[in-house]
Amino acid sequence: MSETTQRQVPRGVATIELAVADAPLAFEFVVLPNASMQAFSSAIEPLRVLNQLVGRPLVSWRVVTVDGAPAQFSCGLQFLPDGSATTPPRDAILMVCAGVEPEKSLSPEVVALVRKAWRHGNTVGGICTGAYTLAEAGILEGRAFTLHWENTESFELRYPKLMSNRKLYAIDGKIMTCSGGTASTDLILSIIRQRFGPLAANVVMEMCLHTSMRSDSETQRASLAYIYGVRNARFLRILEDLEDPETWDMTGDEFAIRHAISRRQMERLFKTYTGQSPQKYAKNLRLERARIQLVQTNKTIVQIAIDCGFASADTFSLNFKRRFNVSPLEYSKAFRHAAKN
């Protein structure tokens, strides 16, 4: 047993008996700069726990970087990888771990590696914003996939033919993706359950203090009903409709007619549940979309203003400064300066 394998079979008190004759399940984690440490560790720990429970290496893994040099997670912590990213064994699952600034952290070498592994029959996947690499490799079209909700809009602007299903995780044949955070644990538990059975998955879940094994049909974000504490079905439909850019140029009267409600009643509902008028709520929603685009895309302020439903760049800038106490240009510059440091 190699030193690496020995490290991957720690001792613990809890044990389970599994009659598994299959070869160990192998993972290759490629960590990109500024990857999410939470998403990465949430994938690794269930594997470590499984080995600990059975007392032998049912799973093995390597953690690599593009060139084998130390990498830094988005939280600032660094780690020493097992080596550089190379073509994994045929039976290994290749997972790309990414995080903030996914466009900036894209690596042509890793894109080529994913494409080659996919063509060789490997299962490939993305953690958090790892879907960017899979998209660049050209293997996501027609597939179910996901990534972190904060990056979904900028992803779909960059890849207009691809649309995330916005779920916690997705398994579509030999493509596996998850939205990051603790959803990485849900994805790995699903793999463990499929490969080693429900007993293994359930005990690993309990050891990780993961309260439930969430399914791939669950959404990433809390429902609007939960956020606002409301069960009014009509009002919830209005809130959901406001998320659609196609409705952003509608007047209040047009929106009220669309949902068969009086303008006054609609305003009363918004005031009761959000503390805002419908117009202010919609404007703040569009400004938040614009804020995300400022830091996640290379679009000009004019392009962002148009995309987010503002009549002009000047109107957008004025409203943005009122909302965030800084101009769009200053906000973008400050973010990029902080990212460099």
pLDDT tier for residue 56 given thresholds of 50, 70 and 90: confident
End-to-end CA distance of the chain: 42
What are the CA-CA distances from residue 118 to residues 45, 134, 173 (Å)?
A: 25, 10, 12
pLDDT digits (tens, 9 = 90+) for 130-178: 999 999 999 999 999 999 988 888 898 899 999 999 999 999 999 999 9
pLDDT digits (tens, 9 = 90+) for 308-328: 989 899 999 999 999 999 999
Task: Name residue 176's beta-bridge partners.
Answer: 125, 171
Which pLDDT does position 17 carry in this prediction? 79
pLDDT digits (tens, 9 = 90+) for 91-103: 899 999 999 889 9
| Rounded CA separation 336/330 (Å) | 10
Which pLDDT does position 238 carry in this prediction? 87
| Rounded CA separation 52/13 (Å) | 9
* 189, two tokens: 């538990």
Which pLDDT does position 34 carry in this prediction? 93
307, pLDDT greater than 70: yes
pLDDT digits (tens, 9 = 90+) for 1-18: 555 655 667 766 677 877
Q: What is the dihedral of CA 221, 225, 228, 233, to 10 degrees?
A: 140
By percentage, how much of the chain surpasses pLDDT 90? 56
pLDDT tier for residue 21 given thresholds of 50, 70 and 90: low
Which pLDDT does position 255 carry in this prediction? 87
Which pLDDT does position 23 carry in this prediction? 67
Query: Is the CB of residue 19 less than 8 Å from the CB of residue 58?
Result: no
341, pLDDT greater than 60: no
Which pLDDT does position 222 carry in this prediction? 63
pLDDT digits (tens, 9 = 90+) for 240-259: 888 888 888 888 888 889 99
Question: β-strands 93-97, 25-31: how paired?
Answer: parallel
pLDDT digits (tens, 9 = 90+) for 212-224: 888 888 888 766 6
Full DSSP string of 239-306: HHHHTSGGGTT--HHHHHHHTT--HHHHHHHHHHHTSS-HHHHHHHHHHHHHHHHHHH----HHHHHH
DSSP 24: P
Between these two residues, 333 and 114, which has the higher pLDDT value? Answer: 114
Which pLDDT does position 66 carry in this prediction? 94
Between these two residues, 21 and 277, which has the higher pLDDT value? Answer: 277
pTM of the entire structure? 0.75
Across the chain, what does the average pLDDT equal? Answer: 88
Residues 6+ apart with CB under 8 A from 293: 153, 154, 157, 299, 304, 307, 308
Which pLDDT does position 115 carry in this prediction? 97
Q: Which domains does the chain have, with CATH numbers?
A: 3-207 (3.40.50.880), 224-340 (1.10.10.60)
Query: Is the CB of residue 82 less than 8 Å from the CB of residue 7?
Result: no
